Amino acid sequence: MRATSLLLAAVGLAGSTVAHPFGETEAVLGPQLQSQEKADAVKEAFQHAWDGYMKYAFPHDELHPVSNGYGDSRNGWGASAVDALSTAIVMGNADAVNTILDHISKIDYTRTPDGVSLFETTIRYLAGMLSGYDLLTGPASDLVSNTENVDNLLTQAKNLADVLKFAFSTDSGVPYNNINITSKASDGATTNGLAVTGTLVLEWTRLSDLLGDDVYAELSQKAESYLLAPQPSSGEPFPGLVGSNVYISNGEFADGAVSWNGGDDSFYEYLIKMYVYDPKRFETYKDRWVLAAESTIKHLTSHPKPRPELTFLSSYNNGNYDLSSQHLTCFDGGSFLLGGSVLGRQDFIDFGLDLVHGCEATYNQTLTGIGPDSWGWDPKKVPSDQKDFYERAGFYINSGYYVLRPEVIESFYYAYRITGRAVYRDWVWNAFVAINATCRTDSGFAAVTNVNAKNGGSKDDNQESFLFAEVMKYSYLTHADDAEWQVQPGDGNTFVFNTEAHPMRVKHT
Ligand SMILES: *[C@@H]1O[C@H](CO)[C@@H](O)[C@H](O)[C@H]1NC(C)=O
Ligand SMILES: *[C@@H]1O[C@H](CO)[C@@H](O)[C@H](O)[C@H]1NC(C)=O
Ligand SMILES: *[C@@H]1O[C@H](CO)[C@@H](O)[C@H](O)[C@H]1NC(C)=O
């Protein structure tokens, strides 16, 4: 998942006679047994976290993995269970899948004591259910015998969208993000963020396509329309790269601050993913992504002085460049790789790999082998106690937290699936082993406070639901057999992953 940084500070192809999708052979795949063992080790980690969640937290939103308590940060509808569904499905974990389906059939989405985030609810709950439906009515249909529980996923997805849809009832159609579903009121904000406005369209369009009812698609595409044709021109300082906030009253941009960081990130991610979802309907989205990608290469590429071979993305505002980046931003390599592969643009693939290597460097250089939540490389801002580290690593750490985010592993996964090179698979494994060694508790996995301290500094008592949805899924899929839901090179994708790593079936029209 993306955009919240501001809050924190199988179908086997194993047989040797079957071609690997990349057209390469054993040298790429490595010994089959080894990969299978690694996939099994990820399953073990998933099961460990799932058992701890079931014992101490279910049906609450998330486990507190140090105190063995629980939290309800996502409206108390069982976020970890719904977010875990598509991962449990691709792992073939029928026990967990059946438990989650039972739970989902009992959720009352009309009730919650807390304010609701349209974005978070869409990417975790709505997408989790839609993905479960697509997988269990498609390539994973063998896993569940109770088809009523599977059909119910779509019913509950509609129920949830019907609860949320009043958020779009504004003068412009740009939604409020923070809403009260009881009073049908909003927080009264005058602007909405780029990512939270622009990361709804995949889920709401998928829902419409499955139901044969355009109302949900239309709401999300109307909101998106302002982002695709930015007004005024100050909202688009470089072709395709747009500001960070739009006015809810009229859809005009409120600023021209450009980045791929949290708050902006998944707007760019969804432009190309909508094209993968349906190239006929979403060609304009692709054109906007291409413009953004070309401008990004031209204007945001940055190389740290001590290690000019590394590539990071800077951000831009009003003539100034900010030389800092975030773990959240590291989905960027995957986005360039997906776009480059789908469009046959080697320049985008090459740039994506540069970004992937930059993000790997943030993992490679710390004591734990896990990268920080944010870092910088501005020679004028190096903290005095990090001068040696900066000279060696090429960056200094702004926030050393690791909160179980997936983006670096996610981009390694795209790099591996699209190039077939074993080094990217090895990087996923290294990261997974480091997370397992540093964050694991008796009941699950905890965020840690300092990735460059022994044992990660101290443990923070929270296990975000995206551990299940994303970290476990990308780590597993990298080492698992080929399957219909895996990312494929070129135009071979039959599924596309939402920003929370929930695979949705693409629309062939
Ligand atoms: C939402 O509105 C209801 C009804 O007006 C109110 O009782 C409740 O406190 C509100 N919830 C939040 C989180 O503000
Ligand atoms: C860092 O990268 C180097 C060179 O690829 C490799 O030899 C080393 O094992 C890596 N270290 C970590 C902690 O990943
Ligand atoms: C993960 O940690 C557990 C507990 O320490 C250990 O038993 C297991 O072997 C580890 N897995 C990997 C792949 O390192």
Confidence band (pLDDT; 50, 70, 90) for 22? very low
CA of 190 to the centre of ligand 1 (A): 20
What pLDDT is attached to residue 333?
99
Ligand with smallest separation from the Cα of 178: 1
What pLDDT is attached to residue 8?
37
- From residue 21, how far is each of 13, 29, 173, 487 by CA, in Å? 9, 11, 42, 10
Confidence band (pLDDT; 50, 70, 90) for 349? very high
Q: How far apart are CA 80 and CA 465, in angstroms?
A: 4
Q: How far apart are CA 269 and CA 263, in angstroms?
A: 12
Average pLDDT over residues 287-295: 99
3-state secondary structure of 160: helix
Average pLDDT of the residues of the chain: 94
CA of 500 to the centre of ligand 3 (A): 25
User: Dihedral (C-alpha) 208, 223, 497, 339: value to the nearest 10 degrees?
Assistant: 120
Residue 56 burial class via C-beta count within 10 angstroms: exposed 0-12, middle 13-18, buried 19 and up: middle
Q: Which atom of ligand 2 is nearest to the CA of 369?
A: 13
Q: Is the distance from the beta carbon of residue 433 to the nearest atom of ligand 3 less than 6 Å? A: yes
Q: Which residue lies with its CA nearest to atom 3 of ligand 3?
A: 436
Q: Which residue lies with its CA nearest to atom 1 of ligand 3?
A: 436
User: Dihedral (C-alpha) 434, 435, 441, 443: value to the nearest 10 degrees?
Assistant: -130
What pLDDT is attached to residue 33?
52
Residues with CB under 6 A from ligand 1: 114-115, 180, 182-183
CA of 437 to the centre of ligand 3 (A): 7
What pLDDT is attached to residue 10?
32
Ligand with smallest separation from the Cα of 117: 1
Q: How far apart are CA 35 and CA 333, in angstroms?
A: 24
CB-based contact 353:415 (threshold 8 Å): yes
Ligand with smallest separation from the Cα of 111: 1
CA of 431 to the centre of ligand 3 (A): 13
CB-based contact 373:326 (threshold 8 Å): yes
What pLDDT is attached to residue 406?
98
Q: How far apart are CA 108 and CA 451, in angstroms?
A: 39
What pLDDT is attached to residue 494?
97
Q: How far apart are CA 254 and CA 121, in angstroms?
A: 25
| β-sheet bridge partners, residue 312 | 302
CA of 455 to the centre of ligand 3 (A): 15
Q: Is 478 annotated as a binding residue?
A: no
User: How many Cα atoms occupy the beta-carbon half-sphere of 76 within 13 Å?
Assistant: 7
Tell me the best of 114, 182, 184, 187 to mutate to test the pocket of ligand 1, counting ligand atoms within 8 Å of each CB and taking the most.
182
Residue 466: name the closest of 435, 495, 430, 489 by CA: 435
| Pair type for strands 459-460 and 447-448 | antiparallel
Residue 273 burial class via C-beta count within 10 angstroms: exposed 0-12, middle 13-18, buried 19 and up: buried
13 pLDDT above the threshold of 50:
no
Helix (H) or strand (E) holding 507: none
What pLDDT is attached to residue 9?
34
Average pLDDT over residues 235-246: 98
Task: Please tell me what DSSP assigns to residue 176.
Answer: P
Q: Phi and psi (nearest 5°) for 309?
A: -75, -15
Q: Which atom of ligand 2 is nearest to the CA of 363?
A: 14
Retrieve residue 3's tokens: 């955009």
Q: Which atom of ligand 1 is nearest to the CA of 180?
A: 1
Residue 319 burial class via C-beta count within 10 angstroms: exposed 0-12, middle 13-18, buried 19 and up: exposed
Q: Which residue lies with its CA nearest to atom 9 of ligand 2?
A: 364
Q: Which atom of ligand 2 is nearest to the CA of 430?
A: 14
233-263 burial string, b = 16+ CB within 10 Å, else e? eebbbbebbbbbbbbbeebbbbbbbbbbbbb
Q: How far apart are CA 357 and CA 322, in angstroms?
A: 20
Residue 393 burial class via C-beta count within 10 angstroms: exposed 0-12, middle 13-18, buried 19 and up: buried
Confidence band (pLDDT; 50, 70, 90) for 375? very high
Average pLDDT over residues 388-408: 98
Average pLDDT over residues 293-305: 98
What pLDDT is attached to residue 4?
58
Ligand with smallest separation from the Cα of 438: 3
Q: Is the distance from the beta carbon of residue 430 to the nearest atom of ligand 2 less than 6 Å? A: yes
Poorest-confidence range of 19-33, 153-167, 360-374, 450-464?
Answer: 19-33
15 pLDDT above the threshold of 90:
no
CA of 360 to the centre of ligand 2 (A): 9
Average pLDDT over residues 398-409: 98
Greatest mean pLDDT among 15-19, 32-36, 270-274: 270-274
Confidence band (pLDDT; 50, 70, 90) for 1? low
What pLDDT is attached to residue 23?
38
Average pLDDT over residues 120-129: 99
**Is the link from the previous residue into 139 a cis peptide, with omega within 30 of 0?**
no
Q: Which atom of ligand 2 is nearest to the CA of 427?
A: 14
- pLDDT tens by residue, 186-235: 999 999 999 999 999 999 999 999 999 999 999 999 999 999 999 999 99
Q: Which residues are catalytic?
A: 373
Q: How far apart are CA 452 and CA 372, in angstroms?
A: 8
Q: Phi and psi (nearest 5°) for 356?
A: -60, -40
Q: Is the distance from the beta carbon of residue 48 to the nearest atom of ligand 3 less than 6 Å? A: no
What pLDDT is attached to residue 79?
99
Q: Is the distance from the beta carbon of residue 41 to the nearest atom of ligand 3 less than 6 Å? A: yes
What pLDDT is attached to residue 14?
33
Helix (H) or strand (E) holding 182: none
CA of 443 to the centre of ligand 3 (A): 13
What pLDDT is attached to residue 7?
39
Q: Is the distance from the beta carbon of residue 369 to the nearest atom of ligand 2 less than 6 Å? A: yes
Retrieve residue 480's tokens: 């698992």
What pLDDT is attached to residue 377?
98
